[in-house]
Each structure stands twice: as structure tokens, then as C-alpha cells.
Amino acid sequence: PTELLSLQGCVSAQESIDLTNCHFSSIGQRLADKILSRLNKTEMDFAKTVRIKNSPVDSIFMSPTDHQETIASAPFGDACIKIHSSMCIPNTCICEPLTRTHTIKYLGVHIDENLSFKTHIVSLSGRIRKVIHVMRNLRFVACVDTLRLVYYALCQSLIVYCVTCWGCAGKSFIIQAERAQRSVL
């Protein structure tokens, strides 16, 4: 798009991020407006037809990872996100806020707000260490090929799962998983 060509004249990285975010949010707003106009409804009319099945008690949110984005999304303190009911009046809203969390577990990977994957690696190290007892007991009764198969099935499968996501974590975190792996071997 021609709007994004203006990024070439940006002075700072933050300015280019702001322009990009503004561009894509305006695309989303135009799309929403077009859908509402085709439905011949306003935002309030559409909100009245939407029914939320989960209560906010069951829902959580995680803040952005970038410090500047966190400041931009909640300039006056902690972010407060609410799921509004269809009967909510904007100025007198008493809807329940969502609970803020610092980590989310998605497809077995703990994702934290700084993308350091420390929580995931601590959890992974604990699961790897649980294999030590199995391997120690098998060492005396099984042949080397069987031990290798058990290691691949129980330990290496844990290590390589989603390693493309968490493998970029800092060396100081990854060394915990390496120590656990070495103790299994």
C-alpha cells in the first residue's frame, strides 16, 4: 500500500511502528464499518445481539511485550480490559474486568510477557528430571538400544517439542534444560 511507503521517511523505529499500527488499525476499522453498514446496524445494535458465553472469571489477558506498547495501551497505570455485556451503558459500566496474567500456556508452551520462556524452561526441566528415575531403573535391566528408544520417546520428545519457539531463549535459561538432559544421560 502507498501509505506504508511513507515509512521510508521515518526518523525513528518507534515512529515507523506507530505508523504501521495506525495503518492496520484503520484497515480494521474500515472493514468493521463496511460490515456494519451492510447489516444496516450500528455498533450498539450489533453489541445487543452478541451473547457472551464465558464469564470474565474464566478469561485472562496478557499485556504486550514491548515496554513502549505497554505504556501506549495503558498510559495511566495498569491495563483494565472488560468484557461488556449487551446492556452495558458506556459511562456507568459495571462489567467485570479480565484477570491479568504474566504467562499463558498455549499448546503446551508457557509464553511469558517478555518472551523469555523462563517459565517454560523451568517446567520443561522438571518434566525431564522425572525421566531420570525411569532411566536409572532401566539401566540395569535393558540393553543399550532399548535405553536409547526410551530416551528418544520420553526425554528427547519433550526437548524438541516447539523448540523453534522457545529455543531462542537466553543461554542462562536454556542451561537449566541442558543440565536436566545431561542428568538423564
- pLDDT given for residue 127 in this prediction: 92
- Considering the domain architecture, whether residues 113 and 138 belong to the same structural domain is answered as yes
- Considering the domain architecture, whether residues 148 and 179 belong to the same structural domain is answered as yes
- pLDDT given for residue 125 in this prediction: 92
Q: Return the number of other C-beta atoms located less than 10 Å from residue 118's C-beta.
A: 18
- pLDDT given for residue 126 in this prediction: 93
- pLDDT given for residue 123 in this prediction: 93
Strands 103-106 and 99-101, how do they pair? Answer: unpaired
- Cα distances from 106 to residues 24, 132, 138, 169, in angstroms, run 26, 26, 33, 17
For residue 156, what is its C-alpha cell? 528427547
- Considering the domain architecture, whether residues 113 and 166 belong to the same structural domain is answered as yes
- Considering the domain architecture, whether residues 7 and 71 belong to the same structural domain is answered as no
Would you give the end-to-end CA distance of the chain in angstroms? 54
For residue 91, what is its C-alpha cell? 459511562
- Considering the domain architecture, whether residues 68 and 118 belong to the same structural domain is answered as no
**Pick from 101, 126, 145: which residue ends a domain?**
101
- Considering the domain architecture, whether residues 53 and 35 belong to the same structural domain is answered as no
Q: Return the number of other C-beta atoms located less than 10 Å from residue 155's C-beta.
A: 22
- Considering the domain architecture, whether residues 116 and 71 belong to the same structural domain is answered as no
pLDDT tens series, the chain, 185 aa: 555 555 556 556 667 667 776 777 777 778 888 888 888 887 777 766 666 555 666 677 776 666 666 666 665 556 677 777 667 777 777 777 777 788 888 888 898 888 888 999 999 999 999 999 888 888 889 898 999 999 999 899 999 998 888 888 888 888 998 999 888 88
- In terms of residue numbers, what domain contains 35? 1-40
Q: Return the number of other C-beta atoms located less than 10 Å from residue 10's C-beta.
A: 14
Give the count of domains, the chain. 3
- pLDDT given for residue 43 in this prediction: 75
- pLDDT given for residue 72 in this prediction: 65
- pLDDT given for residue 124 in this prediction: 92
Scanning the chain, the segments in alpha helix (DSSP H) are 13-39, 43-49, 67-73, 118-139, 144-151, 157-160, 163-166, 171-184
Say which residues have a Cβ less than 8 Å from residue 123's Cβ, sequence separation at least 6. 110
- Considering the domain architecture, whether residues 147 and 170 belong to the same structural domain is answered as yes
- Considering the domain architecture, whether residues 115 and 179 belong to the same structural domain is answered as yes
Q: Decide: helix, strand or coil at residue 58.
A: helix
DSSP secondary structure string, 72-98? HH-TTSS---B---TT--GGG--PPBP
- Considering the domain architecture, whether residues 77 and 120 belong to the same structural domain is answered as no
**Pick from 75, 101, 127: which residue ends a domain?**
101
Distance CA 120, CA 122 (A): 6
